[in-house]
Structure 1
Amino acid sequence: MNARSIIGAACAALAIATAIPAAADDPGDVVTPHFEQAIPNIPGKTLTALIVDYPPGGTSAPHRHADSSFIFAYVLSGEIESKVNDGATQVYRAGESWYEPPASNHLVSRNASKIKPAKLLAVFVADTDEKALTTPIE
């Protein structure tokens, strides 16, 4: 093995090693199903509640919500920065809430803090047969 090959291999290893920590520095969210129940007096509709935990600096990838889903979002702790459709980007604090109309594009959803965690309750009312409540926007 010559010096050029060793240097090339070392540069490739260094590039890979520096790329891995960069990905680790971009934490995502953790979504935990909390409750799901068919709504007995509204045939074909289901209420689903999810808890979304954001670590410090955590984000959700941009996503689209199901065509039938009406969403109520309530900040349980911390501060959440959110942008839905063409609305303004807003910061919601613990105890504040907002709603998202059916088929919304959720373009920004992240922890507004780089040092404190945040937690969100997301409640969906959607068609029972619509299982994918969110789809990534590519």
Structure 2
Amino acid sequence: MRGLLPLLFSMPWTGQAAMAAPPLPAVTVLSTEALPEYPGKEAQMLVVEYPPGGADPVHRHDAHGFVYVLEGSIVMAVRGGKEVTLHAGQTFHEGPQDIHTVGRNASSTKPAKFLVLLLKNQGAPILTPTR
């Protein structure tokens, strides 16, 4: 073992790019509207753009989230659910108790864009990173 460690650390590390975090998406808030019929609640609409190879960290929304794919393809999953690949015109829902375990661009060469409608507590963050 003593001779193996120097050999291991002298080897060139070519896989650093593969270990780097994927590029994060760009998020644009389109509107935030109070829902007077539901005191303390609001609807927030956003556009999310994944660059090629882009992905989200594991997170939760503490909201009902409705996704509509505008361009490209995305892969989504919540804890306990199956991964689904969605294409332009398809939808996805996650509930307030769901942990969003997979959110990524299905392509490493083309961007993807989707619309999100969140029904959430007023002033609550868009997402909360979690494990």
CA distance in 2, matches of 1:127, 1:22: 36
The counterpart of 2:26, out of the listed 30, 34, 38, is 30
CA distance in 1, matches of 2:17, 2:129: 23
- The alignment status of 1:133 with 2:130, answered yes or no, reads no
- The alignment status of 1:113 with 2:107, answered yes or no, reads yes
RMSD across aligned positions (CA): 2.2
Number of aligned residue pairs: 121
Per-residue CA deviations over 1:85-123 (Å, capped at 9, x if unaligned) read: 211000000000011111210000000011110001111
Q: TM-score, normalised by structure 2?
A: 0.81
- The alignment status of 1:90 with 2:87, answered yes or no, reads no
Residue type of the alignment partner of 1:42: Y
Q: What does residue 65 of structure 2 align with? A: 71
Q: TM-score, normalised by structure 1?
A: 0.77
* Match runs of 1:32-71 below 5 Å: 32-66=28-62, 69-71=63-65
Percent identity between matched residues is 38
Greater mean alpha carbon deviation, residues 101-110 or residues 36-45: 36-45
Residue type of the alignment partner of 2:81: G
Describe the SS at the equivalent of 1:47. strand
CA distance in 1, matches of 2:34, 2:108: 38
Instruction: Flag structure 2 segments of 5+ consecutive residues without an equivalent.
Output: 1-9
How far off is 1:127 after superposition?
A: 1.5
